Chains A and B, each alone.
Chain A
C-alpha cells in the first residue's frame, strides 16, 4: 500500500505539473543583454476571440515590429486579485524591463509591484492609478458604440434594440449611453433593453441573453461581453448584431453589421519605443480614469471593420458618423442631454468632459430600465 501511495502522489503531482504548464505558460528567455524584455499579463486566454485575443494580436504586432530587439512573453488566465500580484512580481523578478497588465482589476496589484521594482516600467490598461514607473493606457471604446447606434437605428424594424452587458461599471455604461446617443440621432422611436449577464465570459449565458432579447422583440443586438455567442445566436435567429473587441464575421457572416476592433498594437509599439528612447513618461495631469493615453477612432486605437449586411445609405451614414467622431465634428455627449428619468444632465451647448464620462451612473434617454447597483 505504501508503494501505491507514492505512485498516486507522484501521478497527481505529474498531472498538476502538466496542467499548470499549459494553463499558465510563462516563456522565459535567458539573454537580457541585447534584448528588451516585455511581458504581458492576460485575464483569460487569447482563445476567447475577444478582449484578450485583441491584446495578443497587439503583442504579435510588437514582436513583428521590433523583431530581435524585443523579447515578448505573456501569462494567460491570471485572475484579478492576489494571484495577479504574485504573477506580476514573478515577471518583474525574471528580468522583464516592461510589463503590460491588460485588465482593469490588475490596477492595484500592478501599483503594489511597481513600488517594489522602481527600475521596471509598468503599463496598466484601462485603469486610473499611476506612479513614477506606472503609466496607464486606454481606448475610447464608446466611440465605436455611437456608430453602432447609428447603424442600429437605421436597421431596426421593431425599434427594439437588445444590449448584452457584463457589469455595471462606468466603461460599460459609457458604451450603452454612447450607443443610445447614436441611436437617437437617427431614430427617435427606438429604445434599448439592457440585459446584465454578470460575467465577461460565459458563452452559453451570453447566447441565452441574446435569445431572450430576441424573444422580447429585439431585432438588432449589441454586446459588451467577450464571446461571439451573441452574434451566433443573432445569425441563427435572422437578426443583426455588432462584433466586440475583434472581428467576428466568421461566426455570423449574415448578422454582423460591423465590429469595433481594439487595436492595441500601435499603443504598445509607441510605449516600447519611448522606453527604448528614454522618453517614456507616466504622464501629467489628474489621476482620473482617462489615463495618460486615451485615444479612439482618431488615432486608430479603435478600428471599425467593413460595414456589411446593410444598404449603402446606412453604410454611408455609418461612415459619416465614424469620420465625424474621428475629426471632432461630432461630440457624442453634448447638450441638451437628459437621463432616462427626465433629469437634465447637460444643458444646450454644454459638453461632457473626460471626468464626466467616468462618473456616469445614469442611463441617457432612450435606454429602458435602471442600472443595478
Chain B
C-alpha cells in the first residue's frame, strides 16, 4: 500500500484558512492528507506546537500565513517565519528532516495556491517517507 502522509496545517484565519475555504467553494481537488488548525494569526505559532505535532507522529507540518507585508497584525507572519526557521534547526538537531516543516504565504483570494501548497507538501513528504516518530495518527475527523 502506498504511503499516505499525515500533514498538519496551521492556517491564519485572515488568509490561508479563507483560501482553503475558497478552494472548497471552487471545487478544487487536492490530496486529502491535510488537517487544518485555524489560528488568529500565524504569529501565535510556537515551536512547541510544531514539535508536538511531530512528537505525536505527524509526517509533515506547514504554517500558512498572509503575504509578507500584509499581516492583519502587521508583523505576525514575519515572526512566524523566524520561529519556523528556529524550529527547523531544532528538527535538524533531532535528526528529523527540516523539510518536513515549511512556511507558506498566501492571501484569502488564493484558493488555487492553497490547493497547490497541499499538493506540494504531500508530494514532498511522500518522497521523504514516513516520519521516524510515526505511529497510528488518530484521524481528527
- Bind each other: no
- Show the binding face of A for B, using Cβ within 8 Å: none
- Show the binding face of B for A, using Cβ within 8 Å: none
